[in-house]
Structure 1
Amino acid sequence: MKYPFFLLFLFVSVFGFAQKSAIDFKAIEKNLKNEKSPYNYEKLIFKYKGYPKSLDTIETQHLYYGRNFRKDVVSTNDDDFKTLAEAFKTANFDECIKLGKILYEKDPTNLDILLILLKAYDSKQDSNNVIHHLGQFRALTGAIRSSGNGKAEKTPFQVNSVGDEYILLNILNIGQDYTRGSKSTKDGILDIWEKDNSKIYIKVLYIDY
């Protein structure tokens, strides 16, 4: 699902100051389930919902990549999400807010849901909710940015889904003038987006331990 709206506005804010750090997916899975860990899911989601700017890189990585180990995420194939997407498509922003808030409570780290809510609240000039959800969006996309630099096969940006890949592409302003090549890896599909001498590497993860 592509989101051309106001993503250029997000570009500088999201990717201005991210730092790289190695990601240990097994550790993330373990920490999220450990009630004594500082990276326990309930502890992190409390900070995320209350004050997302307080999250550091490791915490945002746990929230974003930890989605691979959760069973309660909302899929774009779910009927409820399809209804939300249709409301967005028809610019029914009141309905977007109503449905989006319900799905947000089920899956607060879903980038698709966050973007729809951002656009809906922006249309209503609800600055408080825009600022809050924008902070969450920056935190999660900052986790993507910290996963690599996108400049080589060994340092790709890593995303959880094809949908998240297109969100990233929109932010990076990579459009139809780029061609895509793909290759399989042991834990995902590596997409190479190329234009002239420029290449961007993005890995769509398929984690299966």
Structure 2
Amino acid sequence: MKYHFFLLLLLVSVFGFSQKSKIDFKAIQKDLKNDKSPYNYEKLIFKYKGYPKSLDTIESQHLYYGRNFRKDVVSTIDDDFKSLAEAFKTENFDECIKQGKILYEKDPTNMDVLLILLKAYDVKQDADNVIHHLGQFRALTGAIRASGDGKSEKSPYLVNSVGDEYILLNILNLGQDYTRGSKSMRDGILDIWEKENNKVYIKVLYIDY
């Protein structure tokens, strides 16, 4: 069976909303480093890599927001990622898989890397890898969607980067007909996406503990 990549975000968009929970970033930072915590990074990443569907919302949020406290993440400005992006641009999907697997091992919760791998595996009709990485992608986006309801300044969706914000916008099916206003905050930038009487609030985090 062929899995069409362009339907993946649609599939994610119809997943049920998780219970909203206030994010305690200091607790996440502490838990991830604590070997005795059930939210220790190594324990969670083992579940994430092996069986992502087993992760609950709190576990997924520790993995997603815990990226703010890791030093080994892959950035879109890194040469390795730029090389992966170039392979994707030229539709060299064999190379996307080769390079993407390396970056995935270094930074398995990187949503940009996951999306490129999903597209490449979809083109190669590798259903097993599409389903597996889609489960991981669903866990991470579920963590974002459980961070708030996006309906007010006090309850925005929380994302780690502008790139993740645009992934969320696609999931929420917010098109180019929305206008964006921004407001600086102590721990990030609050973007207000507006169309007529509809507003969606998304905060791009800048955490410095």
TM bracket (short chain) = over 0.9
Deviations 1:64-96 (A, max 9, x none): 000000000000000000011111111111111
Q: Deviations over 1:100-122 (max 9, x none)?
A: 00000000000000011011101
Cα distance in 2 between the residues matched to 1:115 and 1:11: 15
**Structure 2 length normalisation: TM-score?**
0.95
Distance 1:203 1:92 in 2: 34
Do structure 1's residue 57 and structure 2's residue 26 form an aligned pair? no
Structure 1 residue runs without a partner (length 5+): none
Using the TM superposition, give the Cα deviation of residue 208 of structure 1 relative to its aligned residue in structure 2, in angstroms.
1.0
- The residue number in structure 1 matching 2:6 is 5
Q: CA RMSD in A?
A: 1.0
Query: Which aligned segments of 4 or more residues in structure 1 are displaced greater than 6 angstroms?
Result: none
TM-score of the pair, normalised by structure 1: 0.95
Q: Which amino acid aligns with 2:109?
A: T
Whether the 8 Å contact between 2:182 and 2:190 is mirrored in structure 1 is yes
The AA in structure 2 aligned to 1:59 is E
CA distance, structure 2, for counterparts of residue 194 and residue 89 of structure 1 = 31
CA deviation map 1:108-150 (0-9, x unaligned): 0000000110111011111100000000000000000010000
Verify the 8 A CA contact 2:17 2:146 in the aligned structure 1. no
Match of 1:86 in 2: 86
- Hey, what does 2:24 align to over in structure 1? 24
Separation (CA, whole Å) in 2 of partners of 1:167 and 1:101: 21
Instruction: Could you tell me which runs of 5 or more consecutive residues in structure 2 were left unpaired when the two chains were aligned.
Output: none
Give the drift of 1:5.
3.4
SS at the partner of 2:109?
Answer: coil
Give 1:132's aligned residue.
Answer: 132
Query: Map of 1:36-55 to 2, 5 A cutoff?
Result: 36-55=36-55
Q: How far apart, in 1, do the equivalents of 2:201 and 2:184 lie?
A: 13
Question: 2:74 corresponds to which residue?
Answer: 74
Q: Which amino acid aligns with 1:21?
A: S
Aligned to 2:177: 177
Equivalent residues of 2:31, 2:40 under 8 A apart: yes
Percent identity, please: 84
CA distance in 2, matches of 1:8, 1:54: 22
